[in-house]
């Protein structure tokens, strides 16, 4: 009987999961939106825990102020059962919260690591101390902090962009706060991130792994432009080089 119940429950668990996965695969996923949503949920979680502990602490710090110098505390002496309860009950509450957050985090993580099939691929190379971007047609761009010249990273609006990244010298890290992505860039390995530029805007990538004297000058503009404008720019770039 028990075995049958378990067997029956399997499709009950799997079917909605598959349906949900199929549904979510169809939607346009935006890592930024997912990140922000999760961040808000985590903040609520922290706020609740922080409030409980700080209200208790402040209340007790005021309430239990000694009234005479010879007064001593009357803290509760726990029985064996109470001691176990005060260890196990909070432990399970904390664990429940941990697994809840881990599950939430894992879901969004999967979005971050699964690159959409239609993603536009750009190669990124970290150098001391500048970024180099290479597009599928062989065009390369860069940016100089000194002269403030160079295109930096151009991406088309509405197309997911995947960056395949490596380094020519030391470890750098590609940090793009506006799109909530970041990953280290290392010699001898290729790492990736992807993001979804949904609107036209200019933002900045900064190197976020310490890499020497000009670490804080190793930045470049990231411009999301409409697809037509992007294609035009890329063609023009191709013909001039």
Partner 1 sequence: MSTESHGFNLREWIFTTDHKRIGVLYLIGSIAAFSVAGIQALMIRIEQSSLGPTLVHDVATGGNQYNVWLYFHGAAMILGFLIPGLTGFAANYFLPLMIGAKDVAFPRVNAFSVWLFYAGIVMALLTFVVGDPPDVMWTGYPPYSVLTSGNTAFYVFTVHLLGFASILGAVNFLVTVIYMRAPGMGWNQLNMFVWSTVTAFVIQLVFVPVLASAVTMLLFDKYLGTHFFDPANGGDVLLYQNLFWFYSHPAVYVILLPALGILYEVVATSAKNMIFNYKAAVYGGMWGIVLISGEVWIHHLYIAGMPNWIRIGMMVSTLLISVPVGLLTISLFGTLFRGAITYTIQMKYAAACLFLFLIGGLTGIPLAMTVMTTHLSETSFVHAHFHYIMGIFSTFAVFAAVYYWFPKMTGKLAGEKLGNLGFWFNFIGVNVTFMPLFIIGVQGMPRRYWNYEMFPQFEPFHKVALLGAILVAIGMGMTILNWVISAISGEKSPANPWKSASLEWTDCANPPGPGNFTKDVVIKPEWTPYNYV
Region 179-198 residues binding partner 1, contact defined as CB under 8 A: 180-184, 186-189, 191, 193
Tokens of 156: 């088309």
- The region of 5-13, 115-123, 204-212, 223-231 touching partner 1 under the rule CB under 8 A is 204-212
- The region of 15-23, 97-105, 134-142, 233-241 touching partner 1 under the rule CB under 8 A is 97-105
Given a contact cutoff of 8 angstroms between Cβ atoms, the answer to whether 172 and 217 are in contact is: no
| C-alpha span between 86 and 88 (Å, rounded) | 6
Q: Is the link from the previous residue into 125 a cis peptide, with omega within 30 of 0?
A: no
Region 110-129 residues binding partner 1, contact defined as CB under 8 A: 112-113
Smallest distance, Å, CB 18 to partner 1? 21
Binding partner 1 by CB under 8 A: which of 11, 16, 90, 226? Answer: 90
User: Residue 210: which of 129, 116, 120, 101 has the closest Cα?
Assistant: 129
Beta 219-225 vs 153-156: how paired, if at all? parallel
> At which residue do the structure tokens 């063609």 appear?
235
When the beta carbons of 159 and 206 are compared against partner 1, the nearer one is: 206
Tokens of 141: 């761009």
- The region of 14-22, 118-126, 173-181, 228-236 touching partner 1 under the rule CB under 8 A is 173-181
Region 150-169 residues binding partner 1, contact defined as CB under 8 A: 169
Q: Does 49 bind partner 1 (CB under 8 A)?
A: yes
Please compute, for residue 193, the number of CA atoms within 13 A of its CA located in the half-sphere on the CB side: 22
Q: Does 99 bind partner 1 (CB under 8 A)?
A: yes
Binders of partner 1: how many residues, by CB under 8 A?
80
């Amino acid at each position: 009987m028990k075995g049958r119940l378990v067997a029956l429950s399997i499709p009950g668990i799997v079917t909605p999961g598959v349906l949900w996965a199929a549904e979510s695969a169809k939607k346009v996923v935006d890592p930024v939106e997912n990140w922000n949503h999760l961040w808000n949920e985590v903040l609520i979680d922290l706020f609740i825990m922080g409030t409980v502990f700080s209200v208790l602490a402040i209340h007790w710090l005021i309430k239990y102020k000694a009234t005479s110098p010879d007064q001593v505390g009357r803290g509760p002496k726990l029985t064996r059962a109470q001691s176990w309860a005060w260890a196990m009950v909070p432990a399970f509450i904390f664990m429940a919260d941990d697994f809840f957050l881990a599950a939430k985090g894992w879901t969004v993580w999967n979005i971050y690591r699964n690159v959409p099939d239609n993603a536009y691929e750009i190669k990124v190379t970290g150098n001391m101390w500048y970024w180099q971007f290479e597009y599928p047609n062989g065009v390369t761009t860069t940016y100089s902090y000194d002269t403030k010249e160079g295109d930096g990273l151009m991406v088309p609006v509405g197309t997911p962009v995947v960056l395949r990244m490596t380094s020519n010298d030391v470890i750098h890290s590609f940090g793009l706060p506006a799109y909530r992505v970041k990953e280290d860039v290392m010699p001898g390995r290729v790492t990736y991130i992807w993001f979804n530029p949904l609107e036209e805007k200019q933002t900045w990538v900064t190197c976020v792994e310490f890499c020497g004297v000009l670490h804080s000058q190793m930045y470049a503009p990231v411009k999301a432009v409409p697809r037509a404008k992007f294609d035009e720019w890329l063609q023009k770039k191709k013909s001039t080089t």
